[in-house]
Structure 1
Amino acid sequence: MTARRQALGRYGEDLVERWYIERGYRVLDRNWRCPAGELDLVVTDGTQLVVCEVKTRSSDRFGTGFEAITARKQQQVRRLAAHYVRQRGGWKGPVRFDAAAVMGRNVEVLSGAF
């Protein structure tokens, strides 16, 4: 991945992280990694664990960020979330999967996207 694409991804994750914080969520992890992959953002509102997949685009020329979160990507995020929960000693409440698309300064978050 090029430095430009990495910077664009970090920028989008920064905006989405701020979006959650402004709404009272607490950030547990960002860019959590294990051998199977990476979770972009893990937050909680105190009752539920929220795993958010973030896609940042500089244009919609190749589709929107939401279109990039394919069924295969959703399955991978679910598997990674299970690893995350096991590694952290479990989670007693519900787990929600959100999707976030960033273009420019525009942030859209779909709660319970998959």
Structure 2
Amino acid sequence: MHRAPRASDELGRTGEQVAVEHLVARGLVVLARNWRRREGELDVVATDGRSLVVCEVKTRSGVGYGLPVEAVTRAKAARIRRLAQQWLAESRARWVEVRFDVVAVLLVPGRTPEIEHYEGAF
């Protein structure tokens, strides 16, 4: 059974697109987006040419519930690490270094998106 789309779904999709454009503008090459498994999802898997970069994207329309980056808890970070191991195993890719970043996007209506990129966040 499918549920009706929520406003937060659209906000998340828009934020993720803003984040991907930010990463590409900084020279990263996106290898995968929204890679899903039963345990969860990797928002963006990219490379900077040296490292595999797994990016968690967090988008908010305001800071009433805290900053977007604050939504990445220890438990979420651990789940992302496990999913990254699965991605690596399935892709048969070999990387010397894997980095975990958070791209926090603040999309306040009527304002330019604010992007904070936390390299090596966890």
Give TM class, smaller chain: over 0.9
Q: TM-score, normalised by structure 2?
A: 0.89
Q: Kindly, what percent of the aligned residue pairs are identical?
A: 44
- Shift of the alpha carbon at 1:47? 1.1
**Aligned residue pair count:** 114
Counterpart for residue 73 of structure 1: 76
1:83 has 2:79 as partner: no
- Shift of the alpha carbon at 1:34? 1.3
Q: TM-score, normalised by structure 1?
A: 0.95
Structure 2 counterpart of 1:95, one-letter code: V
Matched residues in 1 for 2:32 and 2:56: separation? 12
Who wins on radius of gyration, i.e. which is larger?
A: 2
Aligned 8 A contact 2:103 2:118 in 1: yes
Unmatched tracts of structure 2, length 5 or more: 108-112
- Shift of the alpha carbon at 1:92? 2.7
Matched residues in 1 for 2:45 and 2:103: separation? 12
1:26 has 2:29 as partner: yes
Counterpart for residue 16 of structure 2: 13
Please report the RMSD computed on the Cα atoms of aligned residues, expressed in angstroms.
1.1
Unmatched tracts of structure 1, length 5 or more: none
Please list, as runs of the form range in 1=range in 2, the aligned pairs for 1:45-64 lying within 5 A after superposition. 45-64=48-67
Structure 1 consecutive aligned stretches of length 4 or more whose deviation exceeds 6 Å: none
Candidates 34, 37, 41, aligned match of 1:38: 41
Matched residues in 1 for 2:103 and 2:36: separation? 19
